[in-house]
């Protein structure tokens, strides 16, 4: 399905993002000059201000960042802890909106969508893999993989068929009935990868997908991930060099700004 109401025309510029690379295809998702400011703790309110309490501290997690992700491209986000990797992933996935700047997903400015439309767009077009798997403990591997399809209103038969097929693709065809507690860490992450791909998303976001896994298991999971991501656009944040090695291009962040964007 196409995203709802394309509200923005093609963004300005010649398609070159961050001024470092030539881009030929229109990006799947593009962040243009995005800044994200978080407010920490609660606001002191009028009484707090009268009593001399200062305003809630603000964190500039990301500053004027621009990046475009093309179809079929695996982009790695590298940078020290707190440099803004997860924040950028959240903005690209439409989980949060920028404080300044725009994020356009296939030409749709996410700011122009209601929360409901944004959730729907994410469900249909974005697959997300987290470090801590985020599986539902009480559900089987197959039911976990099928969950996004429940939310999209896909019928039970079709859900089972698609979830089983994906579990087979990640080598877990003999584990479909197992609950997360009965699976190893690597197997759980493969279930999470299958769940992220079950809606056939255009964009896959992965935040430290191997962070919980030992080196050998991490490698196996990455191979699987690379293989079944096929020609989708992938953005992958990691501290781990072997994980970043699967990327076609690495974007380096420091203190909330992009310090480098280029081929490896
Ligand atoms: N919800 C939030 N509220 C307040 N501050 C936040 C929030 N999320 C992130 N931050 C702050 O924004 C900055 C960037 O955080 P972010 O999680 O994007 O970094 P990161 O590069 O992903 O770090 P890590 O590698 O440790 O996961 C940090 O200073 C962090 O403390």
Tokens standing for 229?
Answer: 């991501």
Taking the centre of ligand 1 as the mean of its atom positions, its distance from the CA of residue 79, in whole angstroms, is 12
pLDDT given at position 23:
52
What are 108's strand-pairing partners?
Answer: 105
pLDDT by 10-residue block (mean), the chain, 264 residues: 39 40 75 93 64 76 96 94 96 96 95 95 94 93 97 96 93 95 93 94 93 84 81 92 92 95 76
Rounded-to-integer distance, Cα 226 and Cα 41, Å:
39
* Cβ–ligand 1 contact at 81 (below 6 Å): yes
CB 190, CB 174: distance < 8 Å: no
* Cβ–ligand 1 contact at 37 (below 6 Å): no
pLDDT given at position 46:
65
CB 31, CB 91: distance < 8 Å: yes
Q: Which residues contact 109 (CB under 8 A, 6 or more apart)?
A: 7, 8, 102, 103
* Cβ–ligand 1 contact at 82 (below 6 Å): yes
Going through the chain in order, the beta strands assigned E by DSSP cover 29-39, 58-69, 74-78, 100-105, 108-109, 126-129, 203-207, 233-237, 249-254, 257-263
pLDDT given at position 248:
92
Query: What values do phi and psi take at 229, rounded to 5?
Result: -70, -20
CB 84, CB 62: distance < 8 Å: yes
Q: Name the nearest CA neighbour of 203 among 82, 120, 105.
A: 105
Atom of ligand 1 nearest to the CA of 88: 18
Instruction: Report the CATH architecture of 29-41+52-263.
Output: 3-Layer(aba) Sandwich (3.40)
Give ipTM to 2 decimals.
Answer: 0.97
Residue ranges of alpha helices (H) inside 56-136 are 85-92, 115-125
pLDDT given at position 26:
81
Atom of ligand 1 nearest to the CA of 239: 25
pLDDT given at position 41:
65
pLDDT given at position 260:
86
- What is the per-residue DSSP string for 20-64? TS---SPPSEEEEEEEEEEEPS---HHHHHHTTPPPPPEEEEEEE
Q: Name the nearest CA neighbour of 81 among 189, 207, 186, 179.
A: 207
Atom of ligand 1 nearest to the CA of 87: 18
C-alpha dist (Å) from residue 140 to 107, 171, 180, 183: 37, 16, 7, 10
């Amino acid at each position: 399905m196409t995203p709802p109401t394309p509200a923005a025309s093609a963004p300005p510029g010649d398609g070159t993002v961050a001024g470092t690379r030539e881009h030929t295809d229109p990006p799947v998702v593009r962040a243009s000059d995005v800044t994200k400011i978080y407010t920490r703790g609660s606001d002191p309110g009028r009484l707090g201000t009268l009593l001399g309490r200062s305003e809630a501290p603000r964190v500039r997690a990301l500053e004027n960042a621009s990046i475009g992700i093309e179809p079929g491209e695996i982009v790695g986000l590298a940078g020290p802890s707190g440099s803004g990797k997860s924040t950028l992933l959240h903005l690209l996935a439409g989980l949060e909106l920028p404080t300044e700047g725009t994020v356009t997903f296939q030409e749709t400015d996410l700011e122009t969508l209601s929360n409901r439309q944004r959730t729907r767009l994410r469900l249909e077009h974005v697959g997300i893999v987290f470090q801590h798997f985020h599986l539902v403990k009480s559900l089987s591997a197959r039911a976990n993989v099928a969950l996004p399809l429940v939310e999209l209103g896909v019928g039970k038969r079709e859900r089972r068929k698609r979830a089983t097929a994906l579990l087979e693709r990640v080598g877990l065809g003999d584990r479909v009935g197992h609950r997360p507690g009965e699976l190893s860490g690597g197997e759980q992450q493969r279930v999470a990868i299958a769940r992220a791909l079950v809606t056939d998303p255009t964009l896959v976001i992965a935040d430290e997908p191997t962070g919980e896994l030992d080196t050998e298991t991490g490698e196996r999971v990455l191979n699987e991930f690379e293989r079944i991501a096929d020609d989708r656009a992938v953005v992958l944040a990691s501290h781990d060099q072997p994980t970043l090695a699967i990327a076609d291009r690495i974007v380096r962040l420091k203190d909330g700004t992009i310090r480098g964007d280029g081929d490896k």
